[in-house]
Amino acid sequence: GNSVTQMEGPVTLSEEAFLTINCTYTATGYPSLFWYVQYPGEGLQLLLKATKADDKGSNKGFEATYRKETTSFHLEKGSVQVSDSAVYFCALRPNSGGYQKVTFGTGTKLQVIP
């Protein structure tokens, strides 16, 4: 079956540090890949996505590149801010006809300290 593996948290960084959150997946074919973010007290919201190999999703300074050869979709940001403190979820959705459920990773908590 499909699965998503994320690095365990929490990840604690100082403001302006470089961020990488690793995500690898197992799936047949070419699924769509997503990063969702959950700020404290809120629901998940889409951060970025990529729908085919070598695509790069980007938003709010975050980037992730769909790497088919390494089955990875690592999230990066060059300079984190305190406001980026949240839980980040990697997810995939198979690229098949009909309804296909989204498979989520376990989430990685990021804490940015001033």
Partner 1 sequence: NAGVTQTPKFRILKIGQSMTLQCAQDMNHNYMYWYRQDPGMGLKLIYYSVGAGITDKGEVPNGYNVSRSTTEDFPLRLELAAPSQTSVYFCASSYSIANQETQYFGPGTRLLVL
Q: Which positions lie near partner 1, rule CB under 8 A? A: 4, 31-32, 34, 36, 41-46, 49, 51, 89, 93-96, 98-107
With CA atoms as reference, report the closest residue to 95 among 56, 57, 68, 64.
68
Q: How far is the CB of 82 from partner 1 (least distance, A)?
A: 21
Of 32 and 110, which has the nearer Cβ to partner 1?
Answer: 32
Torsions phi, psi of 16, nearest 5? 80, 5
Of 17 and 85, which has the nearer Cβ to partner 1?
Answer: 85
SS3 call for 50: strand
CA distance 40 to 59: 19
With CA atoms as reference, report the closest residue to 32 among 76, 59, 68.
68
Of 40 and 114, which has the nearer Cβ to partner 1?
Answer: 40
Q: How far is the CB of 34 from partner 1 (least distance, A)?
A: 8
CA 80 to chain CA centroid, Å, is 15
Q: How far is the CB of 46 from partner 1 (least distance, A)?
A: 5
CA distance 45 to 33: 14
Q: How far is the CB of 81 from partner 1 (least distance, A)?
A: 22
Of 17 and 55, which has the nearer Cβ to partner 1?
Answer: 55
